[in-house]
Structure 1
Amino acid sequence: MSEICPGRYCGRTEDVNGISSSCGPCPIGYRVNEQRECVRCVRDPSHYDLLYLGFMFMLPFIMHFYVINRCCDSLKDQITTYSSAVVELVLSALISVLLMDPVGTFHLHTCGVEHFSDWYTLFYNPSPNYVSKLHCTQEAVYPLQTMVLVFYFISLLQMIVFRLILKTFFWVYKDRALYSAMYFFPILMFGHSVACGILCGHWFFLAYGIISLRHTFFLFLVPIPFFFYNLTLPYTDPSEFQENEE
């Protein structure tokens, strides 16, 4: 019988012959169970999952409308560009859903979110016996990370196509509206990759509280608990000692 993999996210997969692989990251769309085996995610999205995806869908809507309102002068240009933005984002959202598991349907399978660490598996790669690090970085919250990034990327491509159509057939084309969106979409992608677990939100509120007390020097201490926790986790996690005793 195979030994249980160390760490929180390392698991084993089985091939068609039932042979288990060595410990490592689970494939996309899979997640480790209590036996540290990679199993396919078949959960239905929770109410909070849908609200989260809806919020990430609304962000580019708001940014598009703000930019269009600032760049387009005439009412005709505004209405036409607004309509284009709505079509671009709605089509991108539908395509993104179709690309997720199960592919080709409007039904989503999710892995769910069980712990805050699920968003940051990069920081939970175990070091068995403190000799070498076992890399098991994966998307434990599938598809809440991948789907949003795919949506932003498709929206960027759709925007370029639709705005060129507006220029060619309707003579509506505002350089600033297009160029601004070409900047904020990469920013949204980066922000989602880094802050999709809302960690930066916690830092923001903590920093806001410190500023309200007018102790600005302590702003440099805001990220210290997070880094301290991740640096000391390999040496203080009880599971490490339990695995060594076994």
Structure 2
Amino acid sequence: MQKMFSNMSVKLCPGLYCGRPRLNLTEGECGVCPRGERTDGQKICRMCVESPELYDWLYLGFMALLPLVLHWFFIEWYSGKKSSSALFQHITALFECSAAAIVTLLVNDPVGMLSIRSCKVQMLSDWYTMLYNPSPDYVTTLHCTQEAVYPLYTIVFIYYAFCLVFMMMLRPLLVKKIACGLGKSDRFKSIYAALYFFPILTVLQAVGGGLLYYAFPYIILVLSLVTLAVYMSASEIQSFRNLVAKKKRLVVLFSHWLLHAYGIISISRLDKLEQDLPLLALVPTPALFYLLTAKFTEPNRILSEGGNGH
């Protein structure tokens, strides 16, 4: 028995991600594991049968929200204040991304179910297996590049592809019918913008997917705080009365509050979620702080006081 284990230890595959097929452990050559599998401690390819953790779902939710938020931003940017088509385009963008998310889950294993099986993310290198191909004899490289974080890496690309397909199927027809208040050159600018930012998001996921996986909660918090401050400053909101004057401002405020809560929950993860739930009470704090201090930072007031002092 000891001799058998010693032989097995000698035959362990080199590198972090090279493994042997399960059906031919003794004679099979070390190499890349099939898609949907990764190596275990004995360098044997094992099927990914775990369910994604809460943090994994939150990461996928973040990646799914990116194109939706960009859609809404460019729709609002190009629709203009007098256009009545913005609301319908916002709803269409939401439908496109929601349909793409549902279809993406259905086509992934297990097919036809709104669930996925996955491999647990253990470390940052799991996202960049192409950088860890071993060279046992320092001459020949053993290529073992695989999706060790199956399917968190490729499922995002599939989702973006479906988003693009649904957008090209629905949005041009909608814009052509309801965007009568816009000039011909402005009607499709939000669609043109998507043709630019989808390739950018794809490259971002391909290169920085692992970094985004660990950093997205902090990215959400920082961006939501910055964008809220910029929006309130650009809209000249300096009091509660200015804030409630338009329903759109309340919608923007509540949307940012949801992003704040999303970021806090993502940082807490499941194991500390119950302990950190009281932190959700701090979600309105940035907006309240801005409203209470906006009058002290008004440029006209600062300039007038500076002139009087001079």
Give the equivalent residue in structure 1 for 2:64.
57
For residues 5 and 148 of structure 1, do their structure 2 counterparts lie closer, same or farther at Cα, with a shift above 3 Å needed?
same
CA separation of 1:178/1:100 partners in 2, compared to 1, >3 Å: closer, same or farther?
same
Give the match's secondary structure for 1:129: coil
Instruction: Answer whether contact 1:13 1:20 (CA < 8 A) is retained.
Output: no
Partner of residue 174 from structure 2, selected from 145, 166, 184: 166
CA contact (8 A) 2:19 2:33 kept: yes
Give the aligned partner of residue 102 of structure 1. Answer: 110
TM-score w.r.t. the length of structure 1 is 0.76
**Contact persistence 1:14–1:20 (CA under 8 A):** no
Contact 1:45 1:112 in 2 (8 A): yes
TM-score by length of 2: 0.61
Using the TM superposition, give the Cα deviation of residue 200 of structure 1 relative to its aligned residue in structure 2, in angstroms: 11
Q: Which residue of 2 aligns with 1:192?
A: 205
For the residue of structure 2 that corresponds to 1:42, the secondary structure is coil
Unaligned runs of 5+ in 2: 1-6, 181-185, 220-310
Match of 1:42 in 2: 49
Task: State the SS of the aligned residue for 2:38.
Answer: strand
Alpha-carbon separation, structure 2, partners of 1:19 and 1:105: 36
| Structure 2 SS opposite 1:153 | helix
Aligned CA-pair RMSD: 2.3
Q: 1:79 aligns with which of 81, 87, 92?
A: 87
Q: Contact 2:19/2:45 (CA < 8 Å) preserved in 1? A: yes
The Cα of 1:97 is off from its aligned counterpart by 0.8
Q: Deviations over 1:58-81 (max 9, x none)?
A: 111111111001111244210111
Question: In 2 relative to 1, CA 102–193 (structure 1 residues): closer, same or farther, beyond 3 Å?
Answer: same
Give secondary structure in 2 for the equivalent of 1:21. Answer: coil
Shift of 1:139: 0.6
Q: 1:182 to 1:199 in 2, by over 3 A?
A: closer
Q: Summarize deviations over 1:84-142 as a string: whole Å, max 9, x none.
A: 10000000000111111111111111101001100110110000021211000011001
Deviation track 1:1-30 (CA, whole Å, cap 9, x = no partner) reads 762111000011145x88753111111111
The percent identity for this pair of structures is 41
Whole-angstrom distance in 1 between the partners of 2:43 and 2:26: 15
What is the CA–CA distance in structure 2 between the aligned matches of 1:54 and 1:200, rounded to whole Å?
11
Whole-angstrom distance in 2 between the partners of 1:91 and 1:199: 24
How many corresponding residue pairs? 202
Q: Could you tell me which amino acid in structure 2 is paired with residue 60 of structure 1?
A: P
Match of residue 114 from structure 1: 122
Structure 2 Cα separation of the partners of residues 58 and 199 of structure 1: 13
SS of the equivalent of 2:46 reads strand
CA distance in 1, matches of 2:48, 2:91: 36
Distance of aligned partners of 1:84 and 1:19 in 2 relative to their CA distance in 1, 3 Å threshold:
farther
Instruction: State which of 179, 182, 204 in structure 1 corresponds to 2:195.
Output: 182
